[in-house]
Amino acid sequence: MRQPKQAEPKKFYAVRRGLKPGIYTSWGACESNTKSFKGAVYKRFSTRKEAESFIGEAIGALAPGLLPNQPAGGPSTAASASQEAKEALAEVDDDGEFTSLDDEACLSALASASAETGSDMVSVSIFTDGSCLGNGKVSARAGVGVWFGQNDERNIAERLPGKVQTNNRAELTAVIRAIESADKHYSTGPPVRLVIYSDSQYMRNGLTKWIGGWQKRQWKTSDGKDVANKDLWVRLLDLQKGYRGEIKLVYVPAHTGIPGNEGADALANRGAAMPPVPGNLAT
């Protein structure tokens, strides 16, 4: 007999700044991640979508068989989400310390083209970042950072493999390594929703504006040139097709005091200082 789907939680606690930013469904879990953290920023919501909007701007949800070519909503949807995010940010805890963001950086949620994979799915927050010292130069050194949590053994700090050392390749590789690591860690048990945070405008534009056209033109740009970093974009799409849960990418502005983002940045910088690694990302 088919088991009935568990009811959607009635409350969602979004922790934007805390020991481990993310979305929790119990006050106890939220409190344990904010009580001892100076300047914690968190808020309770009645829906997961509102909680995600509070934390960051959704780049798109990747689920098996679905590509995030375009945001599902129009301008009015984004404007509404932006206003909701501003109101949410204005209602942080009295003990919190928060500087309001401007309109461009405000955490407005784009309507994501996602497939429903079950409301009872556990969510895991992962922050990623890429670093490139001397970006654009022959002597450039790039690193990859993946942050699961403070002192988490799953954290990754690696040198970007291959001869081409650029910030964009590092940013893409960081997301790829996050999915690879999580896929291995959560290979058994119930499917897990990955909420991956990135401050890469390149990633954001690629998934929301460019990738649909690239695919239609057989991985050519609008002016007929080969798409840069095609190997990494293809690898990313292959990973999402093979992942048995849901993958959601969320854009967060860089260097705004979000612990996970700062942690991933530090890991990426550490990776950039490591010795060169031959070859490209393993497929």
Each residue's pLDDT tens digit, 198-217:
999 999 999 988 999 999 99
Quick one: tokens of 211?
A: 């990738």
What top-level class would CATH report for the domain 12-55+74-89? Answer: alpha beta
- Strand order of the β-sheet with 41-45 is 22-24, 12-17, 41-45
Q: Please report the pLDDT score of residue 104 as a whole number.
A: 30
256 neighbors 101 (Cβ within 8 angstroms): yes
Task: Select the more confidently predicted residue: 49 or 27.
Answer: 27
Least confident of 16-20, 23-27, 236-240, 256-260: 16-20
By DSSP bridging, strand 141-147 and strand 122-133 are antiparallel
User: Do 12-55+74-89 and 122-272 have matching folds?
Assistant: no
pTM over 0.75: no
The half-sphere exposure of 52 on its side-chain side, counting CA atoms within 13 A, is 24
H/E/C letters for each residue in 225-265?
CECCCHHHHHHHHHHHHHCCCEEEEEECCCCCCCHHHHHHH
- Average pLDDT, whole number, for the chain? 77
Q: Please report the pLDDT score of residue 56 as a whole number.
A: 66
Catalytic residue set? 129-130, 171, 199, 255, 265
Q: Please report the pLDDT score of residue 68 as a whole number.
A: 35
Q: Where are the domains of the chain?
A: 12-55+74-89, 122-272
Quick one: tokens of 280?
A: 């490209």
Least confident of 81-85, 141-145, 177-181, 275-279: 81-85
- Residues with Cβ within 8 Å of residue 108, at least 6 apart in sequence: 53, 57, 78, 79, 81, 82, 85
Could you confirm whether domain 122-272 is CATH 3.30.950.10?
no
Quick one: tokens of 132?
A: 């490139």
Q: Please report the pLDDT score of residue 101 as a whole number.
A: 27
In the chain, the N- to C-terminal Cα span, in Å, equals: 39
Q: Please report the pLDDT score of residue 5 as a whole number.
A: 54
Q: How confident is the model at residue 17 (pLDDT cuts 50, 70, 90)?
A: confident
Name the nearest CA neighbour of 258 among 13, 14, 12, 11.
14
